[in-house]
Structure 1
Amino acid sequence: MKQRWPILLIALLIASSSFGQYRKMQVFELAAGADLIVKGKISLIKGGYFTLDIKEVLAGDYKGSEVKIKRFKNYKGVKRWAKYQEDEDLFLFLRKGGTSFEIMGLGGEGEKLIMANEVFLDSRGEGVKNRFGYQPMLLQGNIYAEKLDLPDFEDAVRGFRACFSVSYKEVITKDGEAWKEPLTQKICEDKELDTYRAKSWIHDTMAQHAEKVLE
């Protein structure tokens, strides 16, 4: 048993050195890859889950008025803007996980805060133009995020799925780590894409990001 300790210690050190490292998902990946995209208000927090009262389903086949979602748990170097609170308004990109849904991304990138008529893309994930700054929150503290107009963001997310799909390829980094990098596929006509891009700078920038990784 004593001979195993050096090996175990080395393994723990390796794990701790890489803990908290992840590739942040871009907004276009969330938009194209989610099983369900909703906005709504937290009505219940229980154990490792919360219940969201759905105000609108933007994408996905879901008929219920509420949805059970696994909570994001903070870990080293990656923290939510604040503790979960009832009545918190959220914009969520979700994947189906058994009998509930999970927030997309290792860092909880699929979870966005809504306040008034704006959506806040916090720094756990990528922004649209990555114009991050400290924004005051209504209930507690500040959030370090990119602030966007909610109606334009909603429309950009909803319309993106009509023009692009996303898949992934595995690549090995120079450090020997395996990452999944996105590849996009254009699935609409050029005229439809031009119409999409002309709606706002958010639409146009999301399309630009997607075109950089066209398959």
Structure 2
Amino acid sequence: MCRATDLRTAVLAKNDHGAQELRAELAARRTAMVNLLSSPGSGKTALLEAELTLARERGVPVAALTADLATENDATRLARSGAPVRQVLTAGLCHIETDMLRGHLDGWLPDATRLLFVENVGNLVCPASYDLGETLRVALASVTEGEDKPLKYPTAFGLAHLVVVTKDDLAAAAEFDRAAFLDHVRQVNPGVEVVFTSARRGAGVGQLLDRALAAADGEPVHTPVMAATAPADREPVR
């Protein structure tokens, strides 16, 4: 058991070192990375497509990298925005790590990119422990997933700089209890901002882009309590 713990600590330490280097490299070129975490089917691809499209309309240089175990379906969808998009196939790995990310960015990411959106593998467990060098970490949940998602996945929501609720147009049909959800978010991540969106209807689209641009311009992001109290075997988000 001790050996497994030591190995996990070593893997996370190596990843964390790489994340710090990548963060510094991106900062030097004035690029901010946004790491999007959610479970499968949350609607993050639909929302990201809408945000990329809006960014292009506003003249904001953006790019997106999307990760999946298989298929290039999400990259095809995101490319409809007109933004540069690259698909990462993880070959069964449930998350992406800094070295993997860097390998796909080298020689591809346009020099003028202001925002790089990384759509992580659909999984609220493994990706939560890996810092990718992001400026802004966002945890997403749809109203159809239930109000207790933050309590079930406290690391993913507890280390987020921003929480986004998707598919809000289905809230009534899903009998989504907004007050309960907000209370559960506060329990794991006091003070974090929660925004509500519906990519289908366009409601709330642009809020993620605005928060990302603010972070890119150096405005302070929320500091999760969990990041300051994370145990040694889980690297906090910087």
Name the structure where helix makes up a greater proportion of residues. 2
TM surpasses 0.5: no
- TM-score band, normalised by the shorter chain? under 0.3
Name the structure where strand makes up a greater proportion of residues. 1
Q: Which has the larger radius of gyration?
A: 1
TM-score by length of 2: 0.26
